[in-house]
Every structure is written in structure tokens, then in C-alpha cells.
Structure 1
Amino acid sequence: MGYLNTETLIKALDTAESTSDAVSLRRHTYEALWHTPGRAVVDVGCGTGRAVSELGAGAVGIDTDPTMLDAARARFPGIDVREADAAALPFADASVLGYRADKVYHVLPDPDAALAEARRVLAPGGRIVLVGQDWDAVVIESGLPAVTRRIVHARADTIEHPRIARSYRNLLLDHGFDDVTLTVHTAVFTEPGVRKLLTGHAEAALEAGAITAAEADAWLADQARRAETGRLLLVIPMFLAAATRPRPSAASR
């Protein structure tokens, strides 16, 4: 989402996170964390703090964007959110019981370093949940399918790790986590506010030279007509992986 400024991104996230699919997916992440109120959990890439607020006491949000953190504090007074990097969390070893990262790992410079840090701060038996979209598998209804394919792939190519979500299971296994599970959820967006994200896609493809200005204009006009008539459709596959930090074996104690 690098083609949106922070204010526009916040509005786009509000639209995306308010849908019934998004609410259901967040609930699945909390269940996968085995979370109960008061349980120490870190939400990495917390954005405007919605999940931190919903997780309640014991939850700490981490983000590198101070504007996002200011918005989180304004929206949910009293929540604990801090500016920090995913690869350098402000927690002691084995000090948290849950680690959640929602739509974060695709923009990290070093996902392996972030996972190593996750394992460091998680207590034995602690739970990790990773959620993310596959940028190369986005579905957008359009009267211009060939242009749409080029837009989707060109936008994906601007992301640091556009397909990392499909690798979550293997990454967790590679880092020694146990009880690894993977489910795929479908996020369906039909609200007019999604046009902000679609505009970002078209701008990225135009800048990359994947489409012409005329194709961008025609494609965005088609999306505008769909928004006006209730025909907008954006579908994003969301991968949810969960695992447990192993407890030390009796032989290693």
C-alpha cells in the first residue's frame, strides 16, 4: 500500500477492517492465539489499534509509523501502543504468551529476523499467528480483464514480499515452531470505499509501465461505474497460519 499516504491508508483500512469478513477473520486470529483477557500478547504492525483494543488488558501494539500510533491512541484511549521494529521488540526473552502480525510480513525487510524475534519473546507454549494477503492472487471484477491482470501483477511487484503469505507455514516450520496450521479465508469487498485501494493499484501499474494512461483511465472509469451501481468486487485470499513455541524437552532441562 505504498501508493497511499498515511491518512488515505487509514481511511482505506477502516473500510477494509469494518467488513463482516474482516471482523470474522480477526476473531479467528484471537481464537488461534488461545487468547483470554489479561494474557500478555503483542500485536506487531498494530496500525490504528483496533486489534489491541479488542484483545484488551495485557495486549501491546507495536508499529513503526508514529502517525498510526497517534491515531490508535486517539481512537482507543488507554491502550498500550509503542513505536518499535518487528526485528527488535521491546520485550524480554520468553515474556509474552501471544504474538500476532496481521498484514505485516509482506513489507518487512527481513521476515526471517522478525520470526526469530517472535520466537525470542514468546514463552515456551506461547502462540504465534500470522495473517496476510497474497498480492499476486487478488481478484478484481472488471470489464477489462487483460488490463486487470497486468494491474494486479504490477502492483504485486511493488511489494517487498508479495507472495510471503503462502509461505507462512513453511517459515514457521523452518523456525522450529510446533503445531503449525494454515487456513485460507476469503475477504470480499463490495463497498465504494474500496476504490481508494483500486486507485492505488492502477497508479502503481501505470508508474511501472504495465499499463498506459488511457488504460488506467478506462479501468478506473469502469470501477467508478461499478461503485455507483453496487457492482464493485474485490476478493483477497487471506492466509492465517498459527503455531506454538515448543516447550523444552525433559532431556534438555
Structure 2
Amino acid sequence: MSMMQRLDAAEALPGAAELRARTYELLRLDPGSAVLDVGCGAGLAVAELSSLGFRAVGVDLSAEMVDEARRRSPEAEFLTGDAYALPVDGGFAGYRADKVFHELAEPERALAEARRVLAPGGRIVLSGHDWEALVIDSSYPALTREIVRARASQVTTPRIARGFRRLLAGSGFREVSVEAVVGFFGGEPFVRGLVEVAVRVGAVSVAEGEVWLADQVDGGDAIAVPQFVACGVV
């Protein structure tokens, strides 16, 4: 499964549309306000924000993603750029980053850049999963712990979402608040991907992985993962 396919699948999961809508609500934008979506991927949030009457700009590190976003939403604005050095000037009323900060080794640098581009009184909204807290029903709890640890080890900062409050407050944002919801992953490609990572890093053997995977496929594959949404004001 390609990155594009994984992103599309994630945006189609139960509750995903509602969570996106909640991030837009927390931005508290006035009509016509400018909002930056960092790590915009294929541009779904930019398209939705534009349809709500905001001037949305998407930024992504991947030129391939930006090209796809422009293809899907040719009327919207998309730029190739880095969260540490955004290709825009200031004056934005909102900054949004969904499923981005767990890939950043220096999140404080990204937040300093967010403060640069936000106008006084502008709002930031971060959302993301806690990759160390996957909740999986399994007949093999010890194997499950190793598989979850292995998956988290492939994420730059797997625990960052649970620390959004501390991160935002420490970077000078005011009126910081955090909400948590539980999302659900699943499907054979996702659970097989967990096993493949665990085998590749040596956390479990091929045989152990197959036993665990068979149990998931036969017994159901709904995996719960905490998702945190935080907001703050410059």
C-alpha cells in the first residue's frame, strides 16, 4: 500500500471526518481568514476548509503529495515546504497540523515557526495518535506488547501526542487545552503491516508473527488508538 493509499484509508476511518471537523471548529476562524495546513498530504483538509469559506493554504514536504493535492483541488493553494521553514510570510489566523508532529525530531523548532507565521491572537491546532498506546485484543498479550513496541520504534516521537499540552505551553502558547478521543484502525493490511515491522526489527520471529496475525484475522482486527487534539493561542 502506497503512502497516498494509507492516507486516504486513514481519512476514511470511522470518526475521521468528525475529528477533522473538530479541528476546524477549534481554529475559531472568522469568515475569510487565512489558515495554514501543515503536512497537508493530498489536501483533503485544505479543500474542506476552503469550502467553509476560509483561505486555506496547504504545505507538505513531499512534492508528490503537493502535486496530487493540486490535481484533486486545482482551485486551492498548495506549497512544497518544511515545517521547520515554512514557505509563507506571517499573518495567518490559524495553523493546523494533523498526524505530523510524531514525525518531527525537533517539534519546538516547528512551533517556533508556527508562532512566526501566526498573527497576534492566531490559533494553533495539533492532532495526532499515541503510537505507544495501541489497544489490541489478542490471545497473545506478550507478542502483542512486542509488536506494539516495534511499531512505535519506527516513529520519530511516538509519545508526542500525549504531551501536546506541555509542548504548546512550553513554546509560549496561551489558553492551551487538550481533548482525547479513541479512533479505530483495522483491516488485514494494517495488522499485517504491524507484523512485518516487528519481524523486520527482530521483535518477533516470522513464525510468531504468523501465529499472532492468524489470531487477529480470525478473531477480529479492530485496534483502538488514543488520538489527542490540542489548541492554543499566540
Which category of TM-score, normalised to the shorter sequence, fits these structures?
over 0.9
Say yes or no: does 1:45 pair with 2:39: yes
**Alignment partner of 1:184 out of 146, 162, 180:** 180
Task: State the distance in 2 between where 1:65 and 1:199 align.
Answer: 26
- Deviation of the 1:37 alpha carbon: 4.3
- Kindly state the Cα deviation for residue 8 of structure 1 after the two structures are TM-superposed: 1.9
Find the aligned partners of 1:111 and 1:96 in 2 and give their Cα distance: 20
Aligned residues of 1:172 and 1:180 also touching (Cα < 8 A) = yes
Q: Of the candidates 127, 134, 138, which is equivalent to residue 134 of structure 2?
A: 138
Shift of 1:55: 0.5
> 1:127, 1:244 within 8 Å by CA — same for their partners in 2?
yes
Which residue number corresponds to residue 195 of structure 2?
202
- Greater shift, 214-223 or 38-47, is seen at 214-223
Alignment-derived partner of residue 249 in structure 1? none
Quick check: 159-168 or 8-17, which moved more?
Answer: 8-17
* Residue 125 to residue 224, structure 1, CA distance change in 2 (3 Å): same
Output the amino acid matched with 2:225: I
What is the CA RMSD across the aligned residues, in angstroms? 1.5
Mapped pair 1:217 → 2:217? no
User: Secondary structure of 2:132's partner?
Assistant: helix
Q: In 2, are the aligned partners of 1:37 and 1:55 still within 8 Å (CA)?
A: no
SS in 1 for 2:189: helix
Given residue 234 of structure 1, which amino acid in structure 2 is its aligned partner? I
Match of 2:85 in 1: 88
Where in structure 1 are there 5+ consecutive unaligned residues?
1-6, 246-253
Letter in 2 for 1:208: V
Distance, in Å, in 2 between the alignment partners of 1:197 and 1:19 is: 12
Indicate the larger mover: 138-147 or 104-113.
138-147
Q: Distance in 2 between matches of 1:186 and 1:158?
A: 21
**Identical pairs, percent:** 48
The partner residue of 1:54 within 42, 45, 48 is 48
Q: Does the CA contact (< 8 Å) of 1:60 and 1:81 recur in 2? A: yes
Deviation at 1:75?
Answer: 2.0
> TM-score scaled by structure 2?
0.93
Give the match for residue 19 of structure 1.
Answer: 13
Deviations 1:147-170 (A, max 9, x none): 111100111112110101111101
Aligned pairs, number = 231
Distance (whole Å) between structure 1 residues aligned to residue 112 and residue 21 of structure 2: 26
Corresponding residue for 1:71? 68
Cα distance between partner residues in 1 of 2:57 and 2:162? 27
- TM-score (normalizing by structure 1): 0.86
Unaligned stretches of 5+ in structure 2?
none
Residue 15 of structure 2 aligns to a residue in which SS? Answer: helix
Residue 13 of structure 1: CA displacement? 2.1
Match of 1:121 in 2: 117
Q: Secondary structure at the match of 1:71?
A: helix
- 2:223 — aligned with what? 234
Q: In structure 1, what is the Cα distance between the partners aligned to 2:67 and 2:138?
A: 37
How many Å apart are 1:145 and its aligned residue? Answer: 2.1
Deviation at 1:236, TM superposition (A): 1.1
CA contact (8 A) 2:66 2:79 kept: yes
Does structure 1 retain, via aligned residues, the 8 Å contact 2:102–2:156? yes
1:250 aligns with none
Deviations 1:81-125 (A, max 9, x none): 1100001012223x1000000010111131110000001110110
Letter in 2 for 1:126: G
Aligned amino acid, residue 202 of structure 2: G
Specify the SS of the correspondent of 1:160: coil
Over residues 17-50 of structure 1, what are the superposed CA-to-partner deviations in whole Å (9 max), with x where a residue is unaligned? 1134111111110010013442100000001111
Q: Partners of 2:199 and 2:97 in 1: how far apart?
A: 30
For 1:170, the equivalent position in structure 2 comes to 166
Q: Secondary structure at the match of 1:137?
A: coil
Query: How far apart, in 1, do the equivalents of 2:31 and 2:207 lie?
Result: 53
